[in-house]
Amino acid sequence: MTFPEFSALTVSESDDRLLVQLTRPEVRNAIDEQMVSELHTICSYLEHNPKILLITGCEAKGKGIFASGADIGQLRERRRDDALRGVNNTIFQRIAQLPSPVIAAVDGYALGGGLELALAADFRIATPDATFGQPEASLGIIAAAGGLWRLKELVGVAVAKEILLAGRLVSGREALDLHLVTELHSPADLLDAAQSLADRIAALDPLAVRLSKQVMAMPTAAHPAVDNIAQAILFESDAKFDRMQAFLDRKKK
């Protein structure tokens, strides 16, 4: 599929994945309504054609940039009804719920909505000099697009409060220690590392990965019944028989 109308994103596609690059370098990839609209188009496509999604940034003035946050010019003019629409909240939740895994490859700033976009991914990898933060309170608002709850699930309540309530900025190196990211790579190697991670995911059975992601997101009360239902589906799949037989055949050699 081609996306010729896009102006905020650059997209490339292969058989099992979609690479989306945020490309508004003139405003450090600030997330505006055009970018949100284009991300919705991406989600609509991936909901009907499940593939691994990789999200990365671009260079701005010779330095990497993931996303510096929401477009403050637009954000300043939003009112109560705009907040209730959940412009960024809705798209980030949609990204989080995509059928196949999402990888965020972060270099440079991932601030405000930029960090919340990364938090919506299943995997985050970064460069040592990446910078993560939620500066919303300094602008008189809250991190209402996932930061207030996704962040504490990853780094714990104490560190989340430092970031959300005291303006702490976290480097890539610190993010690795805090389990906010799982890998660090140089800027030159970051995209290759994201592709390698996608290769590892793609080597697994797509349906098993898809159901694992969905079941992991279920509330505690849904287990273990939902696990049994998902397993029952997989026990009848051709891939289960083929992959297990291949495993047994390898053991015989």
Q: Per residue in 108-144, pLDDT tens?
A: 999 999 999 999 999 999 999 999 999 999 999 999 9
- Per-residue pLDDT at 163: 98
pLDDT bucket at 251, cuts 50 / 70 / 90? confident
Whole-structure pTM value: 0.95
Judged against a pLDDT cut of 90, whether residue 208 lies above it is answered with yes
Kindly give the residue spans of alpha helices, DSSP state H, lying in 120-237.
147-155, 157-165, 172-177, 187-202, 206-216, 225-235
Name 10's bridge partners.
Answer: 21
Whether omega for the bond prior to residue 4 falls within 30 degrees of 0, making it cis, is: no
Q: Is 13 a catalytic residue?
A: no
- Per-residue pLDDT at 4: 67
- Out of 116, 153, 162, 174, the active site residue is 116
**CATH 2.130.10.10 for domain 9-203:** no
Whether omega for the bond prior to residue 224 falls within 30 degrees of 0, making it cis, is: yes
- Out of 26, 136, 162, 174, the active site residue is 136
Quick one: tokens of 38?
């284009």
Q: Is 116 a catalytic residue?
A: yes
Ranges for all domains in the chain classified under CATH 3.90.226.10? 9-203
Mean pLDDT to the nearest integer, 21-46: 95
Mean pLDDT of the chain: 95
